[in-house]
Amino acid sequence: MGSDSLTIVDNRTGQKYEIPIVDGTIRAIDLRAIKKDKEDFGLLTYDPALLNTATARSAITFLDGEKGILRYRGYPIEQLAAHSTFMETAYLLIFGQLPTATQLEKWEWDISHHTLLHTNAQKLIESFRHSAHPMSVFIGAISALGSLYPDARDTACVECRLLQAQRIIAKVATIGAFTYRLNQGWPMNYPDDELGYVGNYLRMMFRMTEHKYVPNPVLERAINVLFILHADHEQNCSTSTMRVIGSSQADPYSALAGAAAALYGPLHGGANEAVLLMLEQIGSVRNVPGFIDKVKKGEAKLMGFGHRVYKNFDPRGQIIKKMAHEVFEVTGASPLQDIALELERIALHDDYFVSRKLYPNVDFYSGLIYQAMNLPTNIFTVMFAIPRSVGWIAQWMEMMREDDLKIVRPRQIYVGEGARDYVPIESRKA
Ligand code: SDX
């Protein structure tokens, strides 16, 4: 086998260039040496959606889209879903190792003592219309936290970064629950440190007038697993946004608000909400063939299907699908489940979907579980943002440790007008 390098011949000049290959990549900046003449700026790569561009070196999450492999810090997602808790997995993503019992106890204590929200942030949440989309409220509240913790702007301080991480992980659950309570017109439930992270979240969401709220253990376990599955997913759209904003040394609350905004899109984390809206629009199993025809004509998208990386199956979807049956035993099956199963049956066999490698992704099944838990569709993406905040902050912390961290500033291909002189308004033509 030859050397780890490319030999490039520029046919414009006959010049040859040796470009080293490292970790299966070439450094795009090495292409700048390839010039057609001395005036030339040098070659750029053009990859608008970053389809084939690595933007980070990360030790947090490993994905293999062909084989459907997902590992957090080397641990298979299937094993974490079966044996871990969301708090333990959060520790793993942040610190890189599974905690000892003592470390986990301290971690859970630290997080539980940051769950209270500053009254300014609570008042901001309550200032939104009750009908505001919970993700708009979530993004606004997260951004506001940056104004309450000025120490967050010292992004060079290692201890400050960990403190913000603990605050964020703790407070996103409180904020998420408060967005739901606002929507429902119910008073906020303050956190209860006696309960674990997920139990406390369920209590903040669902406690009404009962003095002692006891979370349903099946639902508490299901949410733990869903939160584990949603915690990180390497350089997805929202995590890349977190890194881009963080690269300017903005505080982590501002960066996380941007990441949450990216997640809100229906092509990303907003898909779980879009799946339920799609199923409700289809309305009945007998309407599925007609909807499939619309998708094939390009008139509709099969929300919850397809993935930029997974080209066989999304391992998270497989786990969630199995878990859905346990939840439905407690909650009763989702009325839209039959439609979902028929869509899945067709998509897994119909060549239009198979040829495009469109398989159910994590968002396809999670919405069915949340709907079976009587959660309103518009809270589903908040249920994604809460656990993904761990991945966002872990990736931000990893980036902030880099010695050669530089602000992200891509180039462009200019396709606009050439130089031209200003035209006085009286001389302009429509
Ligand atoms: C998440 O990146 C991550 O890791 C994300 C995520 C995470 O954990 O962070 O996994 C979470 O965002 C999951 C994805 C949730 N989104 C959806 O379910 C929305 C529906 N899916 C798509 O919009 C789409 O599949 C994407 C956005 C997920 C991926 O799109 P790509 O990789 O840009 O692929 P593409 O749009 O270029 O599609 C390739 C072909 C096209 O057909 P042709 O033009 O070649 O004929 O497949 C078609 C697309 O039209 N296609 C679909 C489709 N998804 C792709 N056709 C119908 N329905 C779909 N869902």
Q: At a CB cut-off of 8 Å and minimum separation 6, what does 49 contact?
A: none
Does the annotation mark 233 as catalytic?
Answer: no
What pLDDT score was predicted for residue 2? Answer: 82
Nearest CA to ligand 1 atom 40: 356
User: 279 with 340: CB under 8 angstroms?
Assistant: yes
User: 61 with 85: CB under 8 angstroms?
Assistant: no
Model confidence pLDDT, tens digit, residues 169-179 = 999 999 999 99
Model confidence pLDDT, tens digit, residues 223-243 = 999 999 999 999 999 999 999
Any idea how long the chain is? 430
Q: Would you state the structure tokens that stand for residue 265, as one six-digit string?
A: 């899109």
- Cα(308) to ligand 1 centroid in Å equals 6
Per the residue annotation, which of 114, 230, 307, 314 is the catalytic one? 307
What pLDDT score was predicted for residue 395? Answer: 98
Give the HSE-up count for residue 143: Cα atoms under 13 Å, Cβ half-sphere: 14
Q: Would you state the structure tokens that stand for residue 189, as one six-digit string?
A: 């439930």
What pLDDT score was predicted for residue 247? Answer: 98
Question: Does any ligand 1 atom lie closer than 6 A to the CB of residue 233?
Answer: yes
Phi/psi-derived region of residue 359, left when phi > 0, alpha when psi is between -120 and 50, beta in every other case: beta
State the average pLDDT over residues 50-75.
96
By mean pLDDT, which of 147-151, 171-175, 369-373 is the weakest? Answer: 369-373
Q: How far apart, in whole angstroms, are the C-alpha atoms of residue 274 and residue 39?
A: 50
38 three-state secondary structure: coil
Residue 152 has pLDDT above 80, yes or no: yes
Q: Where are the alpha helices (DSSP H) in 64-216?
A: 77-83, 86-95, 101-112, 119-127, 134-148, 158-184, 197-206
What pLDDT score was predicted for residue 326? Answer: 86
Does the annotation mark 268 as catalytic?
Answer: yes
Closest CA to 172 of 199, 195, 194, 145: 145
Atom of ligand 1 nearest to the CA of 238: 9
Query: Side chain identity at 201, as an amino acid letter?
Result: Y
Give the angle 334-340-341 at the CA atoms, nearest 5°. Answer: 105
Alpha-carbon dihedral sign for residues 206, 207, 208, 210: positive
User: 79 with 255: CB under 8 angstroms?
Assistant: no
User: 317 with 361: CB under 8 angstroms?
Assistant: yes
Euclidean distance between the first and the last CA atom of the chain, given in angstroms as a whole number:
64
Per the residue annotation, which of 30, 118, 154, 268 is the catalytic one? 268
Closest CA to 87 of 181, 146, 173: 173
CATH architecture of the domain formed by 61-402? Orthogonal Bundle (1.10)
Domain chopping of the chain, boundaries: 1-46, 61-402
